[in-house]
Structure 1
Amino acid sequence: MIVKMKFLSISGPRTDIDRVSDTYLSKYEMQLENAVTELRTTDNLMPFVDVNPYRDALQKAEKLVEHLSVPGTEDETIKTELTVDEMLDLIREINHDSLELQEKQELLKKDRDSLKEKRDVLEPFKSLDMNLHQVLNLEYFKVRFGRIAIDYYQKLEKYLYNDLHAIFLEGMRNDSYVYGCYFVSNSEVGKVDSVFSSLHFEKIGLDDHYDDTPTESYKKLDDEIQAAETKIDELDNQMQGLVDNHREELLATQNRLEELSNNFDVRKMAARVKNNEEDHYIICGWMGEKDVEHFLKDIENDDRVFAVVEEDREKFYGKPPTKLKNPKLFKPFEMFIKMYGMPDEKEMDPTIFVALTYTLIFGAMFGDVGQGALLFIIGGILYLTKKMNLAGIISIAGLFSMFFGFMFGSVFGFENIIHAKWMRPVEAMTKLPFVGQLNTIFIIAIAFGMALNLLVMVFQIINSIRAKDTENIWFSPNGIAGFIFYGMIIVTVVLFFTGHKTPGNVLLAIFLGIPILVFIFKEPLTNLVERNHKKIEEGKVMFFVQAFFEIFETMLSYFSNTLSYVRIGAFAVSHAAIMEVVLMLAGADKGQISWPVIIIGNLIVIGIEGLIVGIQVLRLEYYEMFSRFYRGTGREFKPFNKKNKVK
């Protein structure tokens, strides 16, 4: 259902805008329009340039709330008796304490990272048994720590080691490098350093303040790192305790500051009217008709607020936004409507129609008691916990899958557990004149599609009456003429295939020929009814050529649109056939069932075929049904509130 909208203008003293937003507007859903733009004919209009005083405190509150061990939920509503000043002081104090803790924590993290770097440098030399301080301060020898590529180290050992006046001690070795150090006398240091440099020896600097072996120094550094991390964790716990001790106050303050900040941002869409004596604000926008009534009652005793409801506002300032209001059961299906386009105010809301047809067709195409139950349960859990609209749709569709599963006698693909209450899609056959044996489910699918086509034509007529569109009411292929034409074809086909006498030639000429003439001359007929004396601009020849191709396209669309519903029966049959293959792979035909194959096969079918069926049903909704009656040219209603802030 589409909520009827009213355009509302609210004004009062400029200094009273916060009170009005907080006391009145926060209770109702209102889509604000830019008052400076909407009221452009009014003199002395100015925008507000005030800076939001709550935004900084709100950002700090949101960061503090992130540290709560038990975060707040959407269903949890916590009230506070704190004033605005007290809330700002609370956020300021807790933020100050948290910043001190964070500063200490950052210093500890820097020290820890520095210790890790030193430890990582020492790690390759842990196997060297020497006192680092002593070897780094030898009087007659120099020691160089570093690494050399394995290829070059092999060359060093093979060709140069015997002639080199140096000793190399190997530490850690990996796939690429050999870590270690070499000792060289002071007199040979220049020559040896040159040789090692030519072999791409990379020096690694070690501090001489280590007074132990590399292993012992490494352990001391590791202990210091663990101590630093312990202190960091302690500061984390202090931060956790700081915010947890004020949990309710923080959550209530965050919610309240969000309201105040959002209400203050109303200024972005408001306008100021200033003259020599007074300074007023003006807020304007769209509100639901019932909300307008309640709002006017709320302010009737408030002499500082003045409101005007402007009738027929859309005639001058565009169409109102569309606000959908449907029962909770059908609410998730609004997602499909928004994907296609919101209905115009003069269109009917197709949400309930989509909900019923989508789930019914899905169930017929994917009929299985067990698989439908899984869809219902999993979708329901996700919808209740994650509020996912698609999950809600899947859950409801699962119910219809279960229903058709009972009708078809299928439980996880097994057709010997329960009896079919209606038919088995693979086996049910019907004999038709001039056609022969045809699967019954195909015939039912086409008949169902014909009925839906007639129904959406009725919707098109209703929408056209609302829009006062004469051509689409009477003369279009989806209007009254199209309904008569298509209805006559259906009557004739049904009578023929059921063995009854078909209408005579005169009736066919009247109910088929006249609508075709109406299709051809719909534009002149519309002009005649509307008394619009408009001449045919393209000429008579081009008019009839264009009319011929339009009639051809119309006939083709009737045929393809009807035939498209065969996919309902095709998927019902293919689903049963696929499950037969799964059971055959599991050995059910041999009496030795492999349950892992049954489980995996069912999961694959639910995932892949369920997705394909869902897409195919949506295609039927959009291309075969919506194309006949629905435009979706409206704009979505976006109220300013906690979830839709003014930007």
Structure 2
Amino acid sequence: MIEKMRFITITGPRTEFDRVVSIYLNKYEIHLENALSELSSVQDLKPFVEANPYKDIHSKALELAERFNNNRPENPIKMTLSEASAIILSASREMEDLTAGKKKLAAEREHLLELQKKIEPFRHLDYEIDKILAFKFIKYRFGRISHEYYTKFSKFVYESLTTLFVECQKDPDYVWGVYFVPEAEADKTDTIYSSLHFENISITSEYEGTPEQAYNALAKKLEENQAKTDSINAEMTNRLSSRSDQILNAHETICVYSNNFEVRKMAACTTVSKRNTFYFILCGWIEETSVEALIRDINKDKNIYCMVEKDIANVSTKPPTKLKNPKIFQPFEMFIKMYGLPAYNEMDPTFFVAITYPIIFGIMFGDVGQGLCLAIIGALIYRYKKIPLAAIISSSGICSTIMGFLYGSVFGFENILPHIWLNPMENVMTVLFTAVAFGSTIIIITMLINIINGIRTKDIEKIFFDNNGVAGLVFYSMVIVCAVLIATGHPMPAGVLLAVFLGIPLILIFLREPLTHLIKRKPEILPKDKGMFFVESFFELFEIVLSYLTNSISFLRVGAFAISHAAMMGVVMLLAGAQSGNPNILAVIIGNIFVAGMEGLVVGIQVLRLEYYEMFSRFYTGTGKGFKPYKSK
């Protein structure tokens, strides 16, 4: 189910804005919309723009709160903004000397890392850097060149120059190195290297010894820097530990005020004052069940007014979607959210998935023993970890257990329980035909859901002329009836009936666009390019008829996996020596674990594929937006 929504507008004096946010938005779940966008036709409105006065104090509070492993106070206490600010400012002043030292260490660390990064590619150069920097008659350049230009340089240029290039390091893109050149040839050689895109890297006198020695020395300095930083952090934590609860409570108070201030981005403000008072406007969606309580509260507030839009069709923004299902179905909302939330006026398919998914899984994976294991393990994981997928596995395991009784299979043993219905390996064709019949029933149900969705959205084309509407339902149902009559040896219906129930629906699907335009009394019934329209409609109709067949046959996989599961367990029993009457228990256990793990995963994915591609594609768009109330933030 989808929770019904109402659109509300809250307005009041600008000076009351923070109080309104603190009281009403933190008490009721309201999904805010941009007031300026929603009230675009209203004149004399502007964005509610102000500089955030809590920005600096919030930054300091956040920095202090991060010193503690637990960011929540053990003893929550309500405090005013001034009290919270005083605590944070006092603690910040107490930390000033340590903060300054830490900033200095951070700047030093950045510098050391930069030096280390520069010298790292030249670590293979076995010559002291300070001696190179002291050369008077030989010029040098540290840098890198791409492989493409380095190859050209080596083959065609290097031998003709009075230069020495010392290669230091390579990576997939560049070659790092140093070139030396006599002072008299420096300008000419520098020009040639520049033309080959040689990138200079500046090496300063801060390095000592060879590049390798300099790199190691920098690494040691970085370790010392980190040790000093850790020491300062520990000292900061020690100083604040006695006031941790105070600071964390102050942090939470300031966060609330800072977050409340951000709501201004969603609000509008009047540009014309009434009695020297400017007003704010907030718009949003609220659950219908909460409207009366909100109105009662606001009616007691003299300065604040709340208006409720009776007809949501008058609202330009789409209502958000909030799913409301019984607890037993809620885990299956995970699959719905993966595909996309239903639009507000669309049917919530959670109930449909919660019924069909476990049943199809059970048919494909019918085994009493393995099903019970899945049911118990899934239930325990969901009980303690609240993972939705675990609940889905548990419900699927229950259906697997039921189908295991119908198949007479327990951990692969076929002779312990009598099969109530049939043995998949002995009744292959029956299983496959039953799977197609089951799939055809599911397809008809999805068509009915699509028609209901069309009625909700008042979409004439979707209701009557769509391939999943009334026309498609009549055609597909008649095809199923004919197939059943042929399979059971009964005579086909009269030609007139076939023409009515097969021909007319196809004509309606073929002409669905013009017919929809005709019913809606649009001036242009057929498009201008009529020839192209009929060609496209013909091929589209051919594809639709073909899809009815392929979608039905797609459900063969349901029966095929039931047979596959029985066959795989038969192989396990054969390898375990079950035919001799004394099977290897260890081999049986390992085989069951392997089959349950591998085939359970594959079957789970295949069932989800059937849900998404064979069922959802017929009736579900999933274009809804989630209900995100300010309170949850």
TM-based fold match above 0.5 = yes
Tell me which residue corresponds to 2:265: 268
Q: CA offset at residue 84 of structure 1?
A: 3.8
Candidates 543, 547, 551, aligned match of 1:561 = 551
Alignment counterpart, residue 607 of structure 2, candidates 617, 621, 628: 617
Matched, 1:16 2:6: no
SS of 1:616's equivalent? helix
Q: Quick one: distance in 2 between partners of 1:90 and 1:636?
A: 38
Aligned residues of 1:426 and 1:439 also touching (Cα < 8 A): no
Is the partner of 2:280 in helix, strand or coil? strand
Residue 308 of structure 1 aligns to a residue whose secondary structure is strand
* 1:488 matches 2:463: no
In structure 1, the partner of 2:623 is: 633
Rounded Cα–Cα distance in structure 2 between residues aligned with 1:444 and 1:53: 69
CA contact (8 A) 1:69 1:240 kept: no
In structure 1, what is the Cα distance between the partners aligned to 2:94 and 2:587? 60
Give the C-alpha shift of residue 392 in structure 1.
3.3
Q: Which residue of 1 aligns with 2:458?
A: 468
Structure 2 CA distance for partners of 1:540 and 1:40, relative to 1, 3 Å: closer
CA distance in 2, matches of 1:410, 1:424: 8
1:458 aligns with 2:448: yes
Question: Which stretch shifts more, 563-572 or 631-640?
Answer: 631-640
Distance 2:306 2:599 in 1: 56
Q: 1:451: Cα distance to partner?
A: 0.8
Q: Which amino acid aligns with 1:334?
A: E
Gaps of 5+ in 2: 107-209, 215-222
Alignment-mate amino acid for residue 536 of structure 1: L
> SS where residue 516 of structure 1 aligns?
helix
User: 1:49-92 CA distances to partner (integer Å, 9 max, x unpaired)?
Assistant: 445455666666666666667786xxx99653444444444555
Map of 1:401 onto structure 2: 400
Q: Deviations along 1:247-300, whole A, 9 cap, x unmatched?
A: 766666555554443322211211222435112221112222222332112111
Matches within 5 A, 1:113-512: 239=237, 243=241, 256-275=253-272, 277-312=276-311, 314-315=313-314, 317-427=316-426, 429=427, 438-512=428-502
Aligned residue number for residue 433 of structure 1: none
CA RMSD, Structure 1 to Structure 2 (Å): 4.1
Deviations 1:302-343 (A, max 9, x none): 111112223445556232222222222222222222222222
C-alpha distance 531-248 of structure 1, shift in aligned 2 (>3 A)? same
Bigger shift: residues 29-38 or 82-91: 82-91
Indicate how the Cα distance of structure 1 residues 549 and 105 shifts in structure 2: closer, same or farther if over 3 A, else same.
Answer: closer
User: Which residue of structure 2 lines up, in the alignment, with residue 142 of structure 1?
Assistant: none
Q: Equivalent residue for 1:115?
A: none
C-alpha displacement of 1:642: 3.8
Letter in 2 for 1:464: G
Q: CA contact under 8 A between 2:98 and 2:232: conserved in structure 1?
A: no
TM-score (norm 1): 0.70
The answer (yes or no) to whether the contact 1:364–1:572 under 8 Å persists in 2 is: yes
Answer yes or no: is the 8 Å Cα contact 1:98–1:239 preserved in 2. no
2:572 paired residue number: 582
Could you tell me whether the CA contact under 8 Å between 2:406 and 2:421 is conserved in 1?
Answer: yes
Task: Name the CA distance, whole Å, in 1 between partners of 2:409 and 2:82.
Answer: 66
C-alpha displacement of 1:455: 0.8
Task: Identify the residue that residue 6 of structure 1 maps to in structure 2.
Answer: 6
The residue type equivalent to 1:527 in the other structure is H
Q: Tell me the amino acid that sits aligned with residue 595 of structure 2.
A: V
Partner Cα separation in structure 2 for residue 272 and residue 386 of structure 1: 46
Give the secondary structure class of the aligned counterpart of 2:524: coil
DSSP-derived class of the 2:306 partner: strand
Task: Give the conservation status (yes or no) of the 8 Å contact 1:26–1:263.
Answer: no
Looking at structure 2, the residues matched to 506 and 329 of structure 1 have their Cα atoms a distance apart, in angstroms, of 49
Counterpart CA distance in 1 for 2:256 and 2:623 is 32
Structure 1: gaps spanning 5 or more residues: 110-199, 205-224, 430-437
Task: Tell me the amino acid that sits aligned with residue 426 of structure 1.
Answer: M
- Measured after TM superposition, the shift of residue 583 of structure 1 is 3.1
**How far, CA to CA, are the matches of 1:535 and 1:258 in structure 2?**
59
TM-score (norm 2): 0.71
Identical-residue share of aligned pairs (%): 49
C-alpha displacement of 1:449? 0.8
Contact 2:38 2:315 in 1 (8 A): no
Cα drift, residue 460 of structure 1: 1.1
Q: Secondary structure at the match of 1:294?
A: helix
Give the 3-state SS of the residue equivalent to 1:27 in structure 2.
coil
Q: Which SS does the other structure have where 1:411 is aligned?
A: coil
Separation (CA, whole Å) in 2 of partners of 1:263 and 1:425? 63
Amino acid at match of 1:273: T
Please give the alpha-carbon distance, in whole angstroms, between the structure 2 residues aligned to 1:419 and 1:45: 77
Contact 2:572 2:591 in 1 (8 A): yes
Q: 1:237 to 1:307 in 2, by over 3 A?
A: same
Alignment of 1:56-67 (within 5 A): none
Are 1:529 and 2:519 matched, yes or no? yes
Within 5 Å, give how 1:568-607 maps onto structure 2. Answer: 568-591=558-581, 593-607=583-597
Q: Is the 8 A contact 2:8 2:308 kept in 1?
A: yes
Contact 1:496 1:502 in 2 (8 A): yes
Query: Hey, what's the Cα distance between the residues in 2 that align with 1:595 and 1:364?
Result: 27
CA distance in 1, matches of 2:35, 2:392: 39
- Greater Cα radius of gyration, structure 1 or 2: 1
Matched, 1:47 2:47: yes
Amino acid of the residue matched to residue 368 of structure 1? D
CA pair 257-598 structure 1, distance change in 2 beyond 3 A = farther
Native 8 Å contact 2:517 2:525 kept in 1: no
Q: 1:382 to 1:505 in 2, by over 3 A?
A: same
Q: Supply the distance in 2 between the matched residues of 1:519 and 1:591 (Cα, whole angstroms).
A: 61
Which residue matches 2:26?
A: 26
Change (3 A) 1:51 1:447: same
Matched residue type, 2:283: C
SS of equivalent to 2:522: coil
Distance 2:422 2:629 in 1: 50
Q: Deviations over 1:596-622 (max 9, x none)?
A: 444443333333322221221111111
Between the aligned partners of 1:626 and 1:250, the Cα distance in structure 2 is 51
Alignment CA distance shift 1:236-1:451 (3 Å):
same
Distance 1:314 1:328 in 2: 31
Q: Secondary structure at the match of 1:472?
A: helix
Amino acid at match of 2:553: L
SS of the aligned residue for 1:641 comes to helix
**Structure 2 CA distance for partners of 1:236 and 1:520, relative to 1, 3 Å:** same
2:561–2:603: 8 Å Cα contact kept in structure 1? Answer: yes
Q: Do 1:262 and 1:642's aligned partners in 2 also have CA atoms closer than 8 Å?
A: no
- 1:476: how far off? 2.2
Cα distance change, pair 389–5 in 1 and its aligned pair in 2 (3 A): same
* Corresponding residue number in structure 1 for 2:541: 551
Select the residue among 500, 505, 512 that pairs with 1:515.
505
Checking the alignment, whether the CA contact within 8 Å between 2:446 and 2:619 is kept in structure 1 is yes
More off after superposition, 6-15 vs 496-505: 496-505
Could you report, residue by residue, the CA deviation over 1:482-538 in whole angstroms, capped at 9, with x for unpaired residues?
Answer: 111111222232333345454333322322222223223333333333333534235
